[in-house]
Amino acid sequence: MKLTKVAFAIASVLAVVAGSANAGQINSSSATLAIEVIKTNAQNVRAPSNTYGFAGDVDARTNEQRLQLQYTLSKGTWTVGAGQRFAAVDTLTDVSGTGLLNVAYNDALDAPLAAFPAGTAVNAFVTADRKTLVFNVTVPVAATNLLKKPLFTVNANGNVGVDNVGINGLLDVAGAAACVAPDSALDINFKHFTNHTGNTTVQTVASPDSEHLRSGSTNDARLLNFTQNLDFQFVAAPSTSRTDAATLNKALTVGSANWTGATLIGTATAIVPPAAALAGGRHYLGAVKLRQRGNGLDLDYTHTYGDSVAPFVAASPFIAADFDAAVGDDTGTLDDGKIELKDATFKLTLPAAWPAGTTVTATDGAGAALAGVNAITIPAGGATELVFTATTDAGAAALANGAYIFAEFTGTAFIPQTGGVVTVATLTKDTVAGTPDLREQDNSCSGTLTGIGGGIKIDVRNYAAYATFGDTGPATTVRIINNSEAQAADVYGQIIYADGTYGAWGKLADLKPREVLNMSNKDVEAKLTNAAAATNPFGTATVGYEAKGGTAVVGGSKAGISDRLRIVSNTGTTLRVQSYMVVGSSVIDTSNAQGVDFENSGDRVPVNALDAQPVSQDAINGLGK
């Protein structure tokens, strides 16, 4: 009787299952190492064990049995060299009894055994390309020498150079640590041949009963995975602080508490600022925190890298014991999960120098300065590069668990308005190789914290771009006036396209007090030669940030609708911008298009203003650079 379609399908599935059950199988588990613990290709890294289970038996009860087992790496190489298990390639080495290759099986009486029969010879070599580890196994004749469905395990133990071959070339496999490096992997392939010649000949012709040729066999497996364990989180302040024109921008506006709404990273708990100490106001830049994002192992294959406590608990904060930052200890010798640290640094680069006397403090988010981490006081002449450094275990743990960064100003010197503050966080690891070489890759990443706003930010809302209209269409001329009696003004421009994207920017001029500048649209766009920031530089205050056009202004972003020109000054205390559009023979004064935009704040006319900006300061953000 013919099988029905359903019965045939069931029979097919059962046939596949039965075939797999009677075919050689490589183990389906693997180890994962942290990318950070792979420093160089020359490192001799302990190889994970790998087991292959035979479906057939090895029967030496009536005649000698010879097997050749081949283990081939997809990447990297087996370790060869002086002091190693194999001193040279293509050199046959007796490894009987070393534990480099172990076996487990049931004997003729179904008793479990975990050693080769007495008299078994196990010799091995590494091929010239160092990709394949080959074992020649000879099982002598004996009445009890039946190995039922044996399990062969290579690199069964962890003593590199004795019962573990070791692997080189893993930096090329794992890759370099980055902000977050991609995961990577190393595979292994197994082959079994039913004969060997007693020398370094690599068998290539298999017999039908070779395990790797049986129907349903699995001969390729993952040997090692690599994942980056550590990265940094950057969280900008929810809004900018603003300088007060009434003080000639020497202080922040009263009530400018830009940390309102900020929380400890990963929680809903509001941060607490440090106690006020200076008269010029306090600015919150944002927070930086080290994150344990992966659970890759250290080279002991026991401890999670970045966590000295086993078993690993992802939610646990960093503790001093997670770091080895001993003074004078610059040698990487540990493989127990600790971060072998030379120093931890958070470096802030200000777009413009903050004045002397300004203090910058890394706090724990509850108002206390981080123990073991330096506070910064800006020296005479100002500074644009600020570095927090920790060189102790406790200091490193404090930085790692989150630095909430505040600046306080004296109120006696001009505070420049700036865009985002580029911040680079780095864990620099020990640099001198020990024996064995257990050095680690550095972790470093950059983000952007919040700068100080409230400077001059004016949008020319009706602007006919030269890139769109050329010499024959409508044209805009802008007239920029520094109407301050005391303060010079640097003047920058940036195109904001009608489709909402940011375009090229550049410096237009430096204006003395009372100085005026007229520029055509062609002249303006010739100065805009810097590409807008590829990612949002404004923090949480801006949504959907995009940039386009590269280092030049492009035309026609949105048909029939004009772009905008943003005018920004970091050092000025007041500007006026007039704009005129020429259409044919008509000249249209479009200056009133710079009307007040009350979305930003209601304090555009400060009490007792000296350099007030009552009508023109209408842009929410500064330059997107």
User: Per the structure, how many domains does the chain have?
Assistant: 3
pLDDT for the residue numbered 456? 75
Within a domain: 410: yes
pLDDT in tens, 117-140: 999 999 999 999 999 999 999 999
**Cβ neighbours, 10 Å, residue 312:** 17
pLDDT tens readout for residues 191-236: 999 999 999 999 998 888 899 999 999 999 999 999 999 999 999 9
Using CB atoms within 10 A of its CB, is residue 317 exposed (0-12), middle (13-18) or buried (19+)? exposed
Whether residues 331 and 274 fall in one domain:
yes
CA angle 226, 230, 233 (to 5 degrees): 135
Give the confidence band of 618 by pLDDT, cuts at 50, 70, 90: very low
> In this structure, are 485 and 379 located in the same domain?
no
Tell me: the pLDDT tens digits for 268-280? 999 999 988 899 9
Structural domain includes residue 13: no
The model's pTM is 0.77
Q: Any idea how long the chain is?
A: 625
CA quadruple 296, 298, 301, 304: dihedral, nearest 10: -50
Q: What does the pLDDT look like over 510-558, one tens digit per residue? A: 999 999 999 999 999 999 999 998 887 765 557 888 999 999 999 888 8
Contact 503, 528 (CB under 8 A): yes
Query: Does 222 lie in the same domain as 131?
Result: yes
Q: Which two tokens stand for residue 199?
A: 């020398």
Identify the pLDDT of residue 540.
55
- Residue 596 pLDDT more than 50? no
* Claim to verify: residue 206 and residue 243 sit in the same structural domain: no
Residue 18 pLDDT > 80: no
Cα angle 330, 332, 335 (rounded to 5 degrees) comes to 145
Residue 476 and residue 582 share a domain: yes
From 480, 484, 492, select the one nearest 621 (Cα to Cα). Answer: 492
- Assess whether 447 and 472 both reside in one domain: no
Is residue 428 included in any domain, yes or no?
A: yes
> Would 484 be classed as within a structural domain?
yes
Note the pLDDT tens digit of each residue in 492-506. Answer: 999 999 999 999 999
Q: Which of 355, 392, 401, 397 is nearest to 377 (CA)?
A: 355
Give kind and range of the element (H or E) at residue 223. strand 220-227
**Same domain membership, residue 234 and residue 190:** no
| pLDDT interval class at 327 (50, 70, 90) | low
d(CA 568, CA 537): 15
Q: What is the mean pLDDT of residues 399-405?
A: 97
Confidence of residue 19 (pLDDT cuts 50, 70, 90): very low
In a domain, 11, yes or no: no
Question: What is the C-alpha separation between 123 and 426, in angstroms, rounded?
Answer: 48
Whether residue 4 lies inside any domain: the answer is no
Neighbours of 11 (CB within 10 A): 10
How far out from the chain centre does Cα 126 lie? Answer: 37
CA–CA distance, 95 with 87 (Å, rounded to integer): 13
Share of the chain above pLDDT 90, in %: 66
Query: Mean of the per-residue pLDDT values for the chain?
Result: 87
Which amino acid does the sequence have at 374? N
Domain boundary among 451, 471, 497: 451
Which residue, among 439, 226, 228, has the nearest Cα to 333 in the 3D structure?
A: 439
pLDDT band (50, 70, 90) for residue 569: confident
Q: Does one domain contain both 243 and 208? A: no
Same-domain status, 87 and 152: yes
3-state secondary structure of 9: helix
pLDDT tens-digit readout, 152-170: 999 988 888 889 999 999 9
pLDDT for res 516:
96
Least confident piece of the model among 428-432, 541-545, 581-585: 541-545
- DSSP one-letter code for 252: B
CA distance 494 to 532: 8
Neighbours of 620 (CB within 10 A): 15
In a domain, 443, yes or no: yes
pLDDT score recorded for residue 622:
59
The answer to whether position 153 is within a domain reads yes
CA pair distance 477, 524, nearest whole angstrom:
9
Distance (Å, whole) CA 1 – CA 577:
94
Q: How far apart are the first and last CA of the chain?
A: 78
Separation between Cα atoms, residue 246 and residue 603, nearest integer Å: 10
Write out pLDDT tens, residues 452-508.
876 677 888 889 999 999 998 899 999 999 888 877 888 999 999 999 999 999 999
Same domain, 379 and 491: no
- Indicate if 563 and 582 belong to the same structural domain: yes
239 with 358, same domain?
A: yes
Cβ-contact 377, 358 below 8 angstroms: yes
Range of the domain at 402: 230-451
Is the pLDDT at 76 greater than 70? The verdict is: yes
